[in-house]
């Protein structure tokens, strides 16, 4: 997961409930961007569907199960299977079951890739933007196995399902200015539709149906990462702001997910120079020894690098651990650095920003300590409350 901004992203849980609908019969929906600028698209579904205008719901075409519809948009407006689509104008369209109550059972195919829910088609500068309108639980089926192996301990997968559900709902409208809620990459969450689905992950999703994490009356920002290296991090040491539920949490094991990277001193000083830090020939690196779970003048309480100082013939320059991670493409900021014969040796642990749930850490607790998903979530999201939203 990439670092994500928090401002304005959490939603009040109460705002997710439509008035008058029973919780058991309703779940929120998401608009997920599948294609930004397509010249044409081939669509079908596993059941009879209609192609209708989004504005007035006027049905423009009725399709049988698995019947293909090839749509293009250009100077002549919408065309369906090579013919101008009557009364479509330049309106947004949607391929959807005629009975919206069946939306969760609809599987739509876009250019031979399948996704649960409906497909929404928006004309954009002579091209087509394609969105997936999908209920949250069906969306998770294409997310959870992408974020965590489905064959892992079921309690760890349940924890991942709750985190992914909370994260998705808390980040609705993240791409609001672009006309959708979330994307399909690590910028939001990995989402690959039905191709990613696994029965074991589906069971974990079903077992936690509608469960989310709250803090202070809001959905929390349930971020997660691959491996902490031995201890997760406080939010202020990554994002600069203190968040009550993103506090350090010790792992069952330390020094996990080891990695290394070596760069030449010339390459490093060149990268620094392009950042306005022209120190000349590198002579020394100042960074205290790595001890996971121990703070220092240049390390956080978890042992992550706060800053590194480089000393060269022309002067010295400092860089934060987070900036250095980005500059060199490092897996984490849990690392040590040394200079030897004009080569910079970097040895580290963990993978990711270190905030929230550590996926390998969750697996270790589920496997070795037999923790259930509720205890795992309580460990990684300090003080957050598990609630059933619907």
Grade residue 25 by pLDDT with cuts at 50, 70 and 90: low
- 311 in a domain, yes or no? yes
Confidence of residue 20 (pLDDT cuts 50, 70, 90): very low
Burial class for 347, CB neighbours closer than 10 Å (0-12, 13-18, 19+): middle
* Predicted local confidence at residue 104, as pLDDT: 95
Distance, CA of 318 to CA of 274 (rounded, Å) = 14
Within this chain, do residues 45 and 115 fall inside the same structural domain, yes or no?
A: yes
Last residue of a domain, one of 125, 152, 169: 125
Is the same domain home to 327 and 368?
Answer: no
- DSSP characters for 189-227? ----GGGG--HHHHHHHHHTTTEEEEETTEE----EESB
In a domain, residue 244? The reply is no
What is the rounded CA–CA span in Å between residue 267 and residue 346? 14
119 lies in the same domain as 149: no
> In whole numbers, what is the pLDDT of the chain averaged over residues?
93
Q: Each residue of 172-200: pLDDT tens digit?
A: 989 988 899 999 999 999 999 999 999 99
Q: Provide the pLDDT for residue 76.
A: 86
Same structural domain for residues 271 and 304?
yes
**Stretch 155-161: mean pLDDT:** 98
Residues 217 and 366 in one domain: yes
Q: The pTM is what?
A: 0.90
Is position 26 within any domain?
no
Has residue 22 been placed in a domain? no
Q: Do the domain assignments include residue 163? A: yes
Note whether 344 and 360 are same-domain residues: no
Q: Is residue 297 packed enough to be buried (19+ CB in 10 Å), middle (13-18) or exposed (0-12)?
A: exposed
Q: Are residues 266 and 340 in the same domain?
A: yes
Measure CA 309 to chain center: 32
Q: Are residues 151 and 224 in the same domain?
A: yes
Neighbours of 24 (CB within 10 A): 9
Q: State what percent of residues in the chain have pLDDT above 90.
A: 90
Confidence of residue 7 (pLDDT cuts 50, 70, 90): very low
Same domain for 262 and 320, yes or no, is yes
The pLDDT, as a whole number, for residue 11 is: 35
291-339 per-position pLDDT tens digit: 999 999 999 999 999 999 999 999 999 999 999 999 999 999 999 999 9
Overall domain count for the chain? 3
Q: Is residue 97 part of a domain?
A: yes
Range of 271's domain?
A: 258-349
pLDDT at 21 over 70: no
Identify the pLDDT of residue 140. Answer: 98
362 and 340, same domain (yes or no): no
Band (26; pLDDT cuts 50, 70, 90)? confident
Q: Of 98, 125, 152, which marks where a domain is finished?
A: 125
The answer to whether residues 221 and 358 belong to one domain is yes
Residue 33 domain-assigned (yes or no): no
The whole-number pLDDT of residue 75 equals 86
371 and 322 co-located in one domain:
no
**Residue 304 domain-assigned (yes or no):** yes
């Amino acid at each position: 997961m990439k670092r994500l901004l928090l401002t304005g992203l959490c939603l009040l849980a109460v705002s997710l409930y439509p008035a008058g609908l029973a919780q058991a019969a309703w779940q929120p929906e998401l608009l997920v961007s599948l294609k930004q600028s397509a010249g044409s698209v081939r669509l079908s579904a596993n059941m009879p569907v209609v192609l209708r205008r989004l504005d007035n719901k006027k049905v423009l075409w009725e399709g049988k199960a698995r019947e293909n519809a090839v749509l293009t948009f250009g100077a002549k407006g919408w065309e369906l299977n090579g013919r101008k689509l009557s009364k479509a104008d330049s309106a947004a369209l949607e391929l959807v079951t005629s009975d919206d109550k069946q939306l969760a059972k609809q599987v739509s195919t876009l250019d031979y890739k399948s996704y649960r829910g409906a497909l929404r088609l928006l004309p954009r500068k002579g091209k087509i933007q394609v969105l997936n309108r999908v209920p949250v639980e069906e969306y998770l089926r294409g997310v959870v196995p992408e974020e965590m192996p489905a064959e892992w301990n079921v309690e760890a997968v349940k924890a991942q399902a709750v985190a992914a559900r909370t994260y998705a709902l808390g980040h609705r409208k993240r791409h609001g200015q672009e006309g959708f809620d979330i994307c399909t990459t690590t910028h939001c969450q990995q989402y690959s539709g039905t191709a990613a689905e696994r029965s074991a992950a589906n069971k974990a999703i079903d077992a936690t149906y509608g469960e989310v994490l709250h803090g202070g009356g809001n959905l929390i920002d349930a971020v997660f990462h691959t491996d902490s290296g031995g201890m997760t991090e406080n939010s202020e040491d990554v994002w600069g702001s203190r968040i009550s539920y993103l506090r350090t949490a010790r792992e069952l094991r330390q020094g996990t997910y080891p990695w290394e990277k070596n760069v030449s001193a010339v390459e490093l000083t060149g990268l620094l120079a392009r950042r306005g830090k022209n120190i000349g020939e590198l002579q020394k690196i100042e960074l205290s020894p790595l001890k996971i779970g121990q703070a220092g003048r240049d390390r956080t309480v978890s042992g992550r690098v706060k800053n590194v100082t480089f000393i060269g013939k022309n002067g010295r320059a400092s860089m934060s651990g987070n900036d250095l991670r980005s500059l060199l493409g490092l897996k984490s900021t849990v690392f040590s650095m040394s200079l030897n014969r004009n080569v910079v040796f970097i040895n580290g642990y963990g993978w990711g920003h270190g905030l929230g749930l550590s996926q390998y850490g969750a697996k270790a607790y589920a496997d070795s300590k037999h923790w259930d998903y509720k205890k795992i979530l309580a460990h990684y999201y300090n003080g957050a409350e598990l609630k059933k939203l619907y």
